[in-house]
Amino acid sequence: MEAVLAVTDVFAAHSPAADPALALLASEEAALRRVIQRYVRDAATVDDLFQEVSLKVMRHLAGLRDPLAARGWLFQLARNACLDHLRASDRRPTAPDTFLADHPATGDLGRDPAAALLSQERVVAVRRALDELPPSQREAIRLRIEDGLDHDGIARRLGISREAVEVRLCKGRTRLKERLDEILEGGL
């Protein structure tokens, strides 16, 4: 397992008072990690992006023209790193999304076993259809359903226009419906 560079680990070798980059990172680490976590959900990616931002801060803080803008610059670096990560993950093939795995179908507890089985088959069909969507459409739908974001919120999160979100959602829903019809008609 690869060790993650944390700001607190660096303190053992360097004094934060002597290094403004370390002092800035130490004071903003918790807030910075929260911002990154709003964009990406898994802890390993949060750690990776925090480390990437930390390295940029350590390399480029001295060249910052206005020291009073350091905090805003830091959070802009984090936002940009997150958006770059999301764009890159949109372009490469990924493992199937499992966001529906945490949300099992629930309903009337009095259903007969046949109805419960049918419901379970539909959940499997939806998962299968979602896995086949292009990553950009799948992510837009995930942000809408799982995170409950509106079109403007999705646009901000992905760094795209509201119109692009509408297109992704519309195309994604259409393709999802078509694929579900194919799956359910053909059987699982």
Using CA atoms, how far apart are residues 67 and 15, in angstroms rounded to an integer?
20
- Name, in order, each residue with C-beta under 8 angstroms of 75's C-beta and a sequence gap of 6 or more: 28, 31, 32, 35
One domain for residues 13 and 87? yes
Using CA atoms, how far apart are residues 16 and 11, in angstroms rounded to an integer?
6
Name the residue with tokens 């692009």. 164
Residue 52: its pLDDT value, please? 92
Domain tally, the chain: 2
One domain for residues 67 and 128? no
Name the residue with tokens 């529906």. 100
Residue 102: its pLDDT value, please? 53
Tell me the residue range of the domain where 49 lies.
7-91
Q: Is residue 75 part of a domain?
A: yes
One domain for residues 160 and 130? yes
Name the residue with tokens 């992704």. 168
One domain for residues 142 and 80? no
User: From the CB of residue 166, how many other CB atoms can be counted at a distance below 10 Å?
Assistant: 14
Query: At 161, is the secondary structure helix, strand, or coil?
Result: coil
Q: Is residue 42 part of a domain?
A: yes
- CA-derived radius of gyration, the chain: 21
One domain for residues 80 and 148? no
Backbone torsions φ then ψ of 13, nearest 5 degrees: -100, -25
One domain for residues 17 and 87? yes
**124-150 pLDDT per residue, tens:** 777 788 888 888 888 888 888 877 888
Name the residue with tokens 């499997």. 124
One domain for residues 49 and 123? no
pLDDT tens, the chain, 188 aa long: 344 444 444 444 444 456 788 888 888 898 899 999 988 888 889 999 999 999 988 888 888 788 788 888 888 999 999 988 888 877 655 555 555 555 554 544 445 555 555 567 777 777 788 888 888 888 888 888 877 888 998 999 889 999 999 999 999 899 988 888 887 776 54
Residue 188: its pLDDT value, please? 46
Q: Which element (helix H / strand E) includes 147? A: none
Q: Is residue 24 part of a domain?
A: yes
Residue 167: its pLDDT value, please? 92
Among 126, 137, 131, 135, residue whose Cα is nearest residue 166: 137
Assign residue 17 the CATH number of its domain: 1.10.1740.10
Helix, strand, coil share of the chain (percent; to 5): 70, 0, 30
Residue 171: its pLDDT value, please? 92
Are 24 and 61 in contact by the 8 Å Cβ rule? The answer is: yes
